[in-house]
């Protein structure tokens, strides 16, 4: 995410607002310290964003996942015995 100082943000406000509207949020900083984040009004609130489980039902994990390639892994560390 791009950060702009206050002076730069004031100078290019129209262009920056257009970028935010198109889905490119940005941060305005004062003396290098982030002060505000600009996002479009229709952007989902952080509490509304669903991160975990977004691929539920689309992938499967084998029952032996924790034992897959045991022999190969042991051989990599210990060599063929």
pLDDT tens-place values along the chain, 81 residues long: 899 999 999 999 999 999 998 889 999 999 999 999 998 888 666 666 666 777 788 888 888 888 888 888 888 898 765
Predicted pLDDT of residue 44: 64
Predicted pLDDT of residue 4: 95
Q: Are residues 27 and 34 in contact, defined by beta-carbon separation less than 8 angstroms?
A: yes
Predicted pLDDT of residue 64: 87
Going along the chain from its start, the domains and CATH numbers come out as: 2-78 (3.40.1620.10)
Predicted pLDDT of residue 49: 62
**Claim: this prediction has a pTM higher than 0.75:** no
Which residues is 3 bridged to in the sheet?
27
């Amino acid at each position: 995410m791009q950060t702009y100082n206050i002076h730069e943000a004031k100078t290019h406000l129209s262009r920056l607002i257009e970028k935010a509207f198109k889905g490119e949020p940005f941060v305005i900083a004062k003396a290098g310290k982030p002060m505000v984040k600009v996002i479009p009004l229709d952007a989902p609130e952080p509490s509304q964003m669903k991160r975990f489980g977004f691929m539920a039902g689309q992938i499967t994990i084998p029952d032996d996942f924790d034992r897959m390639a045991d022999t190969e892994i042991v051989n990599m560390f210990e060599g063929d015995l």
